[in-house]
């Protein structure tokens, strides 16, 4: 689901989605990211200068121990790799993990 909020300064598009779990079949995961890319492509065609917010349960862990990905926290899993690849390919920033978290577990 996505919604566009129009304003005088800049439009904001929020995309709400839930990714397949890490245990899902590979073709299901690929289909999800293809659909997500299609949605993003259509949104950017409508408006070039826009704030995009992707939110939801991406079922991904993105780790700080990954080379050239120092801004992220935790361990990485297969879904995390797919999410990072999608964000890098689209020149997006993963914002929910930019803030320090307590390592309580």
For residue 64, being part of any structural domain is answered with yes
**Residue 68, domain member (yes or no):** yes
pLDDT of res. 43 = 83
Considering the domain boundaries, does residue 35 fall inside one? yes
Query: b/e map of 57-88 (b: 16 or more CB within 10 Å)?
Result: ebbbbbbeeeeeeeebbbebeebbebbbebee
pTM for the whole structure: 0.73
Domain contains 42: yes
Is 98 inside a domain boundary? no
Residues spanned by the domain of 47: 2-89
Distance CA 72, CA 100 (A): 9
Does the residue 78 lie in any domain?
yes
Residue 72 is predicted with a pLDDT of 46
Q: What is the pLDDT of residue 7?
A: 85
Would you write out the chain's pLDDT as a tens digit for each of its 105 residues?
889 898 888 889 999 999 999 899 999 999 999 999 999 998 888 777 788 888 888 888 776 555 555 444 456 788 888 988 898 899 887 776 555 556 776
The answer to whether residue 104 is domain-embedded is no
pLDDT at 15: 92
| Residue 100 belongs to some domain of the structure | no
Specify the number of domains making up the chain: 1
β strands within 34-85, DSSP E? 50-55
């Amino acid at each position: 689901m996505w919604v566009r909020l129009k304003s005088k300064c800049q439009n904001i598009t929020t995309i709400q989605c839930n990714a397949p779990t890490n245990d899902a079949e590979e073709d299901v995961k690929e289909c999800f990211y293809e659909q997500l890319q299609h949605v993003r492509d259509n949104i950017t065609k409508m408006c070039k200068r826009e704030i995009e917010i992707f939110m939801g349960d991406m079922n991904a862990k993105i780790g700080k121990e990954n080379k050239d990905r120092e801004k992220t926290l935790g361990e990485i899993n297969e879904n995390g790799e797919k999410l990072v690849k999608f964000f890098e390919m689209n020149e997006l920033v993963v914002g929910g993990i930019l803030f320090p978290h307590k390592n309580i577990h």
